[in-house]
Structure 1
Amino acid sequence: MAQASIGDSEFDRDTAVTLRAPGTYDAELSAGWTIIHAVNGGYLLAMLGRALGDALPHADPFTVSAHYLTASAPGPAVIRTELVRAGRTLSTGQASLFQYAEDGTEVERIRVLASYGDLDALTDDVRTTAKPPVIPPIEYCFGPEDGPAPIPGSSAITDRLRLKLDPATCGWAVGAPSGKGEMRGWFGLADGRDADPLSLLLAVDALPPTGFELGLKGWVPTVELTVHVRCRPAPGPLRVSITTRNLAGGFLEEDTEVWDTADRLVAQSRQLARAPRV
């Protein structure tokens, strides 16, 4: 099978938006990116990110902050964007995704505030103490096909991803969670499409939740997610590391780092999520 290219892949088709009027876009949320019947938050963020990249003077997401207001469902949606400020190096805008209730009224699903720029114009100066996560080679990691049974309702999105998890963070899959809030693995799209800034918005929210390794079961819905895109990723699979240090009051945070094949930190994120009720 030929490898899909950026701009011509299932991910691109399923995050496509159509301009209806200035700042307003029609979209179709695909059922192929669902987890237990809910549309994945990273996929939704990528779709909103595509609309903002078209609407703003700059094309590349630098920082994107989203509040998830209500659960999205597969089907038609409307995205409304607004230019907040246009500068020389950064443009800031906001966007909201709406769907229709059974009575025909609009329901806001997500609201985003984002700043966009030109990743190719960034300097080469890097001063960091961050180090890539230590993950075994892909052939020694585990994918959904290696588990004893799929998570009910979760196969739609996993069929579209090439995920291989670090065995040290897979105890939950065999009923023996480590008790540590950690999840690590290799990430790619199933059709071989290389990563770009938009797919990084998906990558930060594509691995199983760290709550599984804490011994929690069930859906972990995102309340707020902020992503920083640091540079354009090199071709090849990404390494994703997620940690949770604090679960309190029924909420937990997930801090994510995404590294490319050139050992560069290409994206970071933090999200607040609601822990499953036990």
Structure 2
Amino acid sequence: MKKWRTITESYLFILPSFFLKLVFGIYPIIWALRFMFYDYKGYGVPEFSGLANFERLVKDEIFWKSVWNTFIYAGGKVLLSIPIALILAVILNGKLRGRQLLRGIYFMPTVISTAVMSVVFYIIFNSYNGMLNQLLLKIGVVSEPIEWLGSKYAMLTAIIVAAWGAIGNNMLLFLAGLQGIPNEVQESASIDGANSIQRFCYITVPMLGPVLQVIMMLAIIGALKGYESIMVLTGGGPAGATEVMYLYLYKLLFPVSTGESVPQDIGYGSAVGFVAALIVGLITALYFYLTRRMSRIF
């Protein structure tokens, strides 16, 4: 009797979470999978269209350009944020005065809303009265304002902003991994004559291998799915130069909120969402495969 009571109480505890997951997680996925095969603009009666949405997607140059932009954006974000986060974690893991305060400062961007953070950076990178251009003009580095958000620099700017927001969380994960490395190992290497760079390359990084794999996986998935900062900074412009997959999907489903003139298309948007999720899943699976192969080799 006591056993059944314990089991019943356990299920009652997880029931609210399961209900919310079912309503706000599983049901929307099933709903979207259904409308992939329908012509549905958000009003009227949905009409079954078979594979027409996927045929349109194959010929959609904007979507495939957004896929390429997503790879550039994700690759730049990961390559910029991971090394900086690792270096900061190593520094703040040492005997540094005020390290607790510095950890809080570097982690702070993680708890700030992406929209708020992006608005702040929009003010900084604004072409005409932005803080960065004003500073560069004042010290004589440039002779005229730079179009940070409306030129070839738009993607670079978006990557810098995204990396800035991701460094704090990655740094915290690296710190957790560094604190799991025994001090005796570092001390033994120091006694043997290894300098700080050698200890970092031959002891710290190899022993952080399992943690690094997890951090890289989370960073890659997060970067491939990210679009919020780009939506605030550039809206996908100029001329689609910063359009990424999930921003394109958002515009198809909620065009009014983004100020876009494109008509709402839930059926086609569902197909785009499915293919975008499939791409993210394939890249994640490839990453798992490569990391397993590398772990067996090394």
The two structures have a TM-score, normalised by structure 2, of 0.19
Greater radius of gyration (CA):
2
The two structures have a TM-score, normalised by structure 1, of 0.20
Structure holding more helix per residue:
2
Relative contact order, higher structure (CA 8 A, sep 6+): 2
Structure holding more strand per residue:
1
